[in-house]
Amino acid sequence: MLKSPRHRFRLILSLVPVLGLALNLGACRESEPVETARAEARAPVEVQTAVVQGRDEPVVIEATGSFEADELSKVAPEASGRVVATPVDIGQFVRAGAVLVRLQATDAGLRLDEARAAVSRAEANLKLAESRDQLARTTAQRYQALLATGDVSKTVADQARTEAETAQQTVNTGRATAAEARAQLAQAEKAVADVAVTAPFAGFVAERHVAAGEYVQPSTPVVTLVKIDPLRLRLTIPAVQAAQVSSGQRVFASVDAFPGNTFEGTITAVAPAVAAESRALTVEARVPNPRGILKPGMFAVTRIDQGRTARALLVPRAAVVEDVNTNSYRVFAVDEQNRVRVRVVQLAPRQGGDMVRLASGVEEGDRVVVSNLGDLFDSAPVRAVPAGSR
């Protein structure tokens, strides 16, 4: 029995979802995994490869710090006076005892002449007193002998003995006077010496504070002197690494002023406490500076040798790709079927040169791609040739 047109229209509408489902199933059977299809259909990409290298490297702690002078002194005079000469200038090297500033010496010279004259008088008076003392003692002994024989009276003998005792007291006074005069002479000589302000140690003149004609006092710095061989290197170590630092460890420092150069030193002091404000430990090292090329105040990046080694994995820098979207790094490793596999890697803290140190993501002996990285995707077929073969 024929159905009406309305019934046929409803039948068609009921079949539409079934037809859509059939079309979807057909499409799914035609679309295998896209990446697999691309990999099978695409010709292998010719790439250069390199082997992940393993190398034993020293374990180090990285730290930053700055250089300081081994000795720094703001030299001041020991006497007041007017500056008459400044024989040194900024940047000049001076040896210990070299004259830095000379003061006016007129008054000191006059006092020195007076002290010398006083010493001469005191020594002459002492010599005369000693002669009189010798004569008085001899006379007293002779009169004492005559008293025993009855040739002189007891009064005369007693008078001679008293004169001898008085002469001895005069000698003692003369000796004290001479000693006082010599002490005053020494002070006068020191005053003359003090007009020449000298370097307390060998070093460089960092600053000259006075000029000729200025009047200075013992509290007035005249020259700043620094000793820069060796230099002190003050480092800041995070508290979590405090237990790994000790005196005697080697330090390797680099400064921006001398790229490519490394300056070696030794830790000489470790602070007994961690700073509460920064939670950091202060460490001091001594760095030889025989040529004087390092300057106090220079910033340094350092490595503290821990005295042991660890295995480091190295790949050429060209093998590492940075993924800015995920803030990560990756390499393309070639498997036994000559297909590349994306490996997410972690970079080691210390980098430099043409080789990149990896902390994880690959193993020693793996092959990584170093060319045509833009043409690759995970599981892409490749035809690998060693790096540098073309």
d(CA 221, CA 97): 17
Q: Does the residue 20 lie in any domain?
A: no
Exposure string (b/e) for 127-138, b if CB count within 10 Å is 16 or more?
eebbebbeebbe
Distances (CA, A) of 240 to 61, 62, 236, 274: 11, 13, 12, 10
Q: Angle at the Cα of 226 (from 222 to 231), degrees rounded to 5?
A: 165
d(CA 267, CA 248): 5
Q: Does the residue 288 lie in any domain?
A: yes
**Residue 134 sits in the same domain as residue 179:** yes
Q: How many domains does the chain have?
A: 4
Beta strands in the chain (DSSP E): 45-51, 53-75, 81-85, 93-94, 99-103, 196-198, 203-208, 215-216, 223-238, 250-254, 263-270, 280-287, 299-316, 321-323, 328-334, 340-347, 355-360, 367-369, 382-386
DSSP secondary structure string for all residues of 229-292: EEEEEEEEEEGGGGGG--TT-EEEEE-TTSTT--EEEEEEEE-SS-BTTTTEEEEEEEE--TT-
d(CA 228, CA 235): 17
Tell which residue, 307, 353, 346, has the closest CA to residue 59. Answer: 307
Structural contact between residues 195 and 215, judged by C-beta atoms closer than 8 angstroms: no
CATH number at residue 257: 2.40.30.170
Report the first-to-last Cα separation within the chain, whole angstroms: 82
**Residue 87 sits in the same domain as residue 146:** no
Which two tokens mark 312? 């480091």
Which two tokens mark 102? 């000379």
- Other Cβ atoms less than 10 A from the Cβ of 47: the count is 24
Tell which residue, 326, 331, 388, has the closest CA to residue 358. Answer: 331
The pLDDT value given to residue 367: 92
CATH number at residue 86: 2.40.50.100
Q: Does the residue 355 lie in any domain?
A: yes
d(CA 72, CA 88): 17
Which two tokens mark 50? 């390199």
Q: Collapse the DSSP code of 73 into the 3-class scheme (helix H, G, I; strand E, B; otherwise coil) and give the result.
A: strand
Q: Does the residue 319 lie in any domain?
A: yes
pTM, two decimals, is 0.57
The pLDDT value given to residue 8: 53
Per-residue pLDDT of the chain (390 residues; tens, 9 = 90+): 444 555 554 544 454 444 444 444 444 444 445 555 554 557 899 999 999 998 888 888 889 999 999 999 999 988 788 888 899 999 999 999 999 998 886 565 567 667 787 778 888 888 888 888 888 888 888 878 887 887 778 888 788 888 888 888 888 888 888 888 788 777 666 665 667 888 999 999 999 999 999 988 888 899 999 999 999 999 999 988 888 899 999 999 999 999 989 999 999 999 999 988 888 999 999 999 999 899 999 999 999 988 888 888 999 999 999 988 888 999 999 999 999 999 999 988 767 778 898 988 999 999 999 998 888 999 999 998 766 555
The pLDDT value given to residue 107: 62
**Residue 233 sits in the same domain as residue 305:** yes
d(CA 262, CA 264): 6
- Cβ burial of 196 (10 Å; 0-12, 13-18, 19+) is middle
DSSP secondary structure string for all residues of 88-102: --TT-EE-TT-EEEE
**Residue 154 sits in the same domain as residue 204:** no
Q: Which residues does residue 166 pair with via DSSP β-bridges, in sequence order? A: none
Q: Does the residue 4 lie in any domain?
A: no
Residue type, 34: V
The pLDDT value given to residue 193: 61
**Residue 132 sits in the same domain as residue 257:** no
**Residue 210 sits in the same domain as residue 271:** no
Q: What domain range is 114 assigned to?
A: 107-186
State which of 261, 278, 309 marks the end of a domain.
Answer: 309
Give me the numbers of helices (H) and strands (E) for the chain, helices first please.
4, 19
**Residue 248 sits in the same domain as residue 360:** no
Residue type, 86: T
**Residue 316 sits in the same domain as residue 331:** yes
Q: Does the residue 379 lie in any domain?
A: yes
Residues 6+ apart with CB under 8 A from 244: 61, 304, 306
**Residue 238 sits in the same domain as residue 305:** yes
The pLDDT value given to residue 19: 46
State which of 309, 324, 352 marks the end of a domain.
Answer: 309
DSSP character at residue 378: T
The pLDDT value given to residue 331: 94
Q: Does the residue 181 lie in any domain?
A: yes
**Residue 116 sits in the same domain as residue 237:** no
Q: Does the residue 19 lie in any domain?
A: no
d(CA 332, CA 128): 108
**Residue 299 sits in the same domain as residue 317:** no
CATH number at residue 333: 2.40.420.20
Which two tokens mark 195? 């007009």
State which of 135, 159, 186 marks the end of a domain.
Answer: 186
**Residue 305 sits in the same domain as residue 315:** no
The pLDDT value given to residue 27: 46
Structural contact between residues 383 and 44, judged by C-beta atoms closer than 8 angstroms: yes
